[in-house]
């Protein structure tokens, strides 16, 4: 029986993960299946418990990343630090929870902007902000500012970033009080929250990392293109983290170019 994989979350129908992974299987001639499965909040443990032995791995998206940590038999140090797992892999010792969002973000940024930066501002304070915050800490940031609509709700994210071995300085401010950013700005907030006032306070910056690949281009990306800043897209992040997942799932290096091309074509068709 072919190995089965999938992406779980709610909502999940919009996910490009099936497109990327299937393109990888086709490129390498791997006999495997990959599907999107809607699993609502609170339902991941029951779903995983009901999987047959042919299921070898899961990509995990919102709102299930913390649930993935709780149900795993083993958990990577990175997933624990990030406070969430986007990857579940079935091993001889049970389910392993890991996080490819962090190294995927590092690879996405480095591909587009292979130079040193010292300042980072993250718009938003949720789970995605924690993963990307750890990624920019990997890149050697001296100061990381978390700008959240409600700074009190960003406490877990700030704690996660501060736990990085490099011990960067991390400050949290209200999104409406964010001043000059500099360096790299990472947006984890919806396009609707990217107001003209906020955008005016963002620039000038070297890099804009927009973690979504929907509603493209967002107002922040449009401004970045006008200002001549380097843009890192949500598709860049999705492809790089998927390549890492692909290797964990199959034991084969993920074919980056084939997976990216498939993702670009799927987005263009929407």
Same domain as 78, residue 90: yes
Same domain as 29, residue 77: yes
Number of domains, the chain: 2
Q: What is the CATH number of the domain that holds 206?
A: 3.40.50.720
Task: Name the phi and psi angles at 202, rounded to 5.
Answer: -80, -45
Average pLDDT over residues 45-52: 97
Same domain as 117, residue 224: yes
Question: For residue 180, is pLDDT > 80?
Answer: no
Same domain as 181, residue 202: yes
pLDDT band at 237 (very low <50, low <70, confident <90, very high): very high
The lowest-confidence range among 30-39, 49-58, 211-220 is: 211-220
Average pLDDT over residues 228-250: 97
Same domain as 195, residue 161: yes
Q: What is the CATH number of the domain that holds 74?
A: 3.40.50.10860
Cα dist. 70→24, 42, 45, 218, 230 in Å?
29, 11, 9, 34, 37
**Structural domain of 116:** 103-232
**Burial bucket for residue 150 (CB in 10 Å: 0-12, 13-18, 19+):** exposed
Q: Which of 270, 123, 262 is nearest to 202 (CA)?
A: 123
Q: What is the pLDDT of residues 198-220, one digit of tens each?
A: 999 999 999 999 999 888 999 99
The pLDDT, as a whole number, for residue 1 is 80
pLDDT band at 164 (very low <50, low <70, confident <90, very high): very high
Question: For residue 136, is pLDDT > 80?
Answer: yes
pLDDT band at 270 (very low <50, low <70, confident <90, very high): confident
The pLDDT, as a whole number, for residue 79 is 96
Average pLDDT over residues 17-28: 98
Write out the catalytic residue numbers.
65
């Amino acid at each position: 029986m072919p190995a089965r994989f999938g992406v779980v979350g709610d909502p999940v129908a919009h996910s490009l993960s099936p497109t990327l992974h299937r393109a990888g299987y086709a490129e390498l001639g791997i006999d495997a299946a990959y599907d999107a499965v809607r699993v609502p909040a609170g339902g991941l443990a029951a779903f995983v418990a009901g999987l047959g032995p042919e299921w070898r791995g899961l990509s995990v998206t919102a709102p299930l990343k913390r649930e993935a940590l709780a149900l795993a038999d083993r958990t990577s140090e990175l997933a624990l630090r990030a406070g969430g797992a986007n990857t579940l892999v079935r091993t001889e010792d049970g389910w392993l929870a890991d996080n490819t969002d962090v190294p995927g973000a590092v690879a996405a940024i480095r591909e587009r902007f292979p130079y040193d930066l010292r300042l980072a501002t993250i718009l938003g304070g949720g789970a995605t902000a924690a993963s990307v915050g750890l990624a920019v800490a990997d890149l050697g940031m001296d100061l990381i500012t978390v700008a959240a609509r409600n700074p009190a709700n960003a406490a877990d994210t700030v704690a996660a970033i501060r736990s990085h071995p490099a011990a960067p300085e991390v400050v949290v401010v209200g999104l409406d009080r964010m001043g000059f950013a500099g360096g790299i700005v990472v947006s984890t907030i919806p396009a609707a929250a990217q107001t003209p006032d906020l955008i005016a306070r963002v620039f000038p910056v070297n890099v804009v990392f927009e973690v979504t690949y929907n509603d493209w281009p967002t107002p922040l990306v449009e401004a970045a293109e006008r200002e001549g800043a380097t843009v890192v897209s949500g598709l860049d992040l999705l492809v790089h983290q998927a390549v890492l997942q692909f290797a964990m799932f199959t034991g084969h290096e993920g074919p980056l170019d084939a997976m990216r091309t498939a993702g670009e074509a799927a987005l263009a068709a929407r």
